Structure 1
Amino acid sequence: MSLYRSVRAVADASGTGPIDWEAVAEAAKASTDPGSIDMSPSEREGYATDVRDARARVRDVSGAKFDVPDTIEVQNRHHWIDANIDTFRRVMEPVEEHGPEIMPGVARTINTGTMSVMLSVLGKNVLGQYDPLLLAEGDEHALYFVRPNIERIADELDVNYDRFRRWIAFHEVTHAAEFGAAPWLSDHLETRMESGIDALAQGRLDREAFRELDAAMTAVEGYAELLMDGAFDDEYADLREKMEARRQGGDPLSRLVRRMLGLGLKRRQYERGKAFFEAVAARRGIEGATVVWDRPENLPTDDEIDDPERWLARVSP
């Protein structure tokens, strides 16, 4: 890890666009200890077993037909940064194409530095990730586990590593279940994301696109929480409480990056979505809640998330 090399990469940012993505990757990795992925055969098998068990349990609980991605990787932090740099680049592409060119050299350095800090902070904290590869060519999905972070945070929280790793695996597989049960979901999220970002790049705010995107992501996070409650083969209230306490803490830079990335919004999506699906499941069971993935029109609106009875009345036969 070299902070000097990270700063040097940002200072030397070049190219014609507002962000030098090669410099972003170099700077983010230079300021991030990659961590180790040296594992015993039993630990490596543990990851595979957790994913297989999660797939079986989530299928049983949800009744949904899905498979886990072909790509399942146990990564270090640098691997995760490399895997996500293209996602950040795709999301920012409309802004780069339409954004104003004011003092381009200075702006490029600032933008490159900002993105590298974001990726570095995330790379040090992401535990697992189900990645539908939004805005990418093709139809690939991937599942990542960042072993150094799982190991470090299990130690910080004083929880059993194997149990913590299994909890992360179950959570990510619930997301695989959602996208597997709803092949249209990736396109739905992409179109709303593209519309919102295009508008921002042109100096407008497409409130409806962001409202629909937020409602869809609230459904994604809430349904995942519902499945976790039924699928995970252990109590995990202690894990959730410790993780939430950790999110509220952290150093000032980490808290700033979380705000910039809207991770507080993600917590709100968890809470609203979980309350919505708990109310639906209390009336119709988990299979009744799973009809949300039958077609795009079955997604709850923003208003319906806070009024599950309205959603049930609309989608019930």
Structure 2
Amino acid sequence: MRQLFGGGGGAPDPEALARLSGMNIDPAMMQTIMSQLQGAFTAGSDGIPWDMTTRGALHIANQDGLSVTSGQRADLDQAFSLANLWLGEATTVSDLATTPRAITRGAWVEATLPVWREMAEPVATSITDALTRALSEQAPEEMKALVEGAGRLMRTVGGSLFASQLGQVVGNLSKEVVSGGDVGIPLMPDGEAAILPQNFDDFGRDLEIPDDQLALYVAARELAHARLFRHARWLRLHVISQVTEFARAIHVDTDALEDLATRFDPSEPEELRRALESGALLPPRSDAQNAALARLENLLATIEGWVDVVTENATSRLPSAVRIAEAVRRRRAVGGPAERALGSLVGLELRPRRMREAAAMWRAVTDAVGIAGRDSLWDYPDLMPGADDIDDPSALVARLQARERGEEPARDEMDDALERLLSGESDEAGPSGEDDPDRPDDPRPV
């Protein structure tokens, strides 16, 4: 810490702190971050400085200083308007209550940061706890008391490292995403749809597809995504809760961190920054984490498959629709550098591997029961297709067709249990309905 603060206990050394953050930002911005860090030290805060994430992400997002021009806004407004009409024929899910808009990268950062924070907080807390514990254990004996008394300071340093790194990832991601739903999870506020013109231009530059067709396709896909989450109010919470469930199960590899702590030099923190970026501090996933990740991937694939099919139907008039759809799928499958960095930072891959299979399921359902029957599966959580339906949609199709014919669905164990509960029967009764004399709590003698 003496090396970091200039060796004399005075003002912090900006170059040392810039290397520590790994953000490579200008001196004015670094001075602001140093002031925040000093304030945290003075106040003794032991939380994660999320305002550092916000400032870092906005600094990167606003580096080019580009705003949305009136021409870009007019073009995208027209694309949103026509895409809305086409979606009215492709889905029964209702229109948005708010007007879709063209936004800057900085506006995207500000709109989505609350969700990023919610996803990253469990991992950030795990890292700061492990860093405090590891550095305390590795301290020389004569400094044990000092280090234990400076626990909040250690947590502030670890939290600042993670917060600045997350800010860098989100800031770089703002240069890659084309629309609000581009990442696949509900990052935008409920019922809002948006396109980033700066990134839209970059996306279409090498595709050799007319801009108006590309804008119509992207607008239709973004509106379908936003419409779905507005219609199924429970879906947003369902996705976020599964993401946070996965994140809470993440723990730092203390052996790797302790090994790093033995070599840690505050004046040369590149190794710690690289460890955070590469995911080296996150141990291999446990069986429980793999199961949680599989559930999340199936959920995202189910959502994205529906969006894919609805967008395909809505844009069937576009001559280049098939080429655009393939370009979007390819882009989602590969992912950008910032998306991969996010996976390393929080251990979560947001690319649904089963989107093609899920899209095939939705097409089969549409062919069997029509658009209204398909979209009714989003009315309640218990109606939504599961992983087994993605593997083989025939059973789901048969159930939906039987319901259309007015047939009673086949009874299952849940139906039997509910009937017994409503009729006042006890599940503990034997086959004849009488109490089982072998039960240990039966008052009658055996």
Same fold flag (TM > 0.5) = yes
Map residues 1-317 of structure 1 onto 2, 5 A cutoff. Answer: 3-5=24-26, 8=30, 12=34, 14=37, 15=40, 16-17=45-46, 19-32=48-61, 33-40=63-70, 43-64=72-93, 66-70=94-98, 72-96=100-124, 100=129, 102-103=131-132, 104-130=155-181, 140-200=190-250, 205=288, 210-232=293-315, 233-234=317-318, 235-244=320-329, 253-254=337-338, 256-257=340-341, 259-260=343-344, 265-315=350-400, 316-317=402-403
Match of 2:412 in 1: none
Q: Structure 1's 265 and 102: CA in aligned 2 closer, same or farther, altered over 3 A?
A: closer
Tell me how far apart the structure 2 counterparts of residues 244 and 61 of structure 1 sit (CA, whole Å): 20
| Number of residue pairs aligned between Structure 1 and Structure 2 | 311
Q: Equivalent residue of 1:4, what SS? A: coil
* Partner amino acid, structure 2, of 1:230: N
Which whole-Å deviations, capped at 9, do the CAs of 1:226-283 have from their partners, x for residues lacking one?
11111013132222334455567788x4473264478865241422321221232233
* Matching residue's letter, 2:25: Y
Q: Which runs of 5+ in 2 are unaligned?
A: 1-22, 133-154, 254-285, 404-446
**1:101–1:190: structure 2 CA closer, same or farther, 3 Å change rule?**
same
For the residues of structure 2 that align with 1:8 and 1:154, how far apart are their CA atoms? 35
SS of 2:200's equivalent in the other structure is: helix
- Whole-angstrom distance in 2 between the partners of 1:269 and 1:242: 17
Contact persistence 2:123–2:247 (CA under 8 A): yes
Cα distance change, pair 262–9 in 1 and its aligned pair in 2 (3 A): farther
Contact 1:34/1:77 (CA < 8 Å) preserved in 2? no
Task: Give the C-alpha shift of residue 174 in structure 1.
Answer: 0.9
- State the AA in 1 paired with 2:308: E
Corresponding letter in the other structure for 1:225: D
Q: Which amino acid aligns with 2:170?
A: L
Q: Percent identity?
A: 21
| Partner AA of 1:122 in structure 2 | L
Alignment RMSD, CA only? 3.6
* Partners of 2:68 and 2:102 within 8 A in 1: no
Secondary structure at the aligned position of 1:221 is classed as helix
Greater CA drift, 174-183 or 95-104? 95-104
- Mapped to 2, the partners of 1:244 and 1:10 lie a distance apart of 41
TM superposition score normalised by structure 1: 0.80
1:10 touches 1:23 (CA, 8 Å); kept in 2? no
**232-241 or 171-180, larger mean C-alpha shift:** 232-241
- Give distance in 1, aligned partners of 2:339 and 2:396: 35
In the alignment, residue 48 of structure 1 is paired with which amino acid?
D
Give the unaligned 5+ runs of structure 1. Answer: none
Give the 3 Å change call, closer, same or farther, for CA 240–226 of structure 1 in structure 2.
closer
Give the letter for the 1:157 counterpart. L
Could you list the per-position Cα deviations for residues 204-234 of structure 1 after superposition, in whole angstroms to 9, with x for gaps in the alignment?
A: 8466654443333221100111111110131
Give the structure with the larger helix fraction. 1
Amino acid at match of 1:75: I
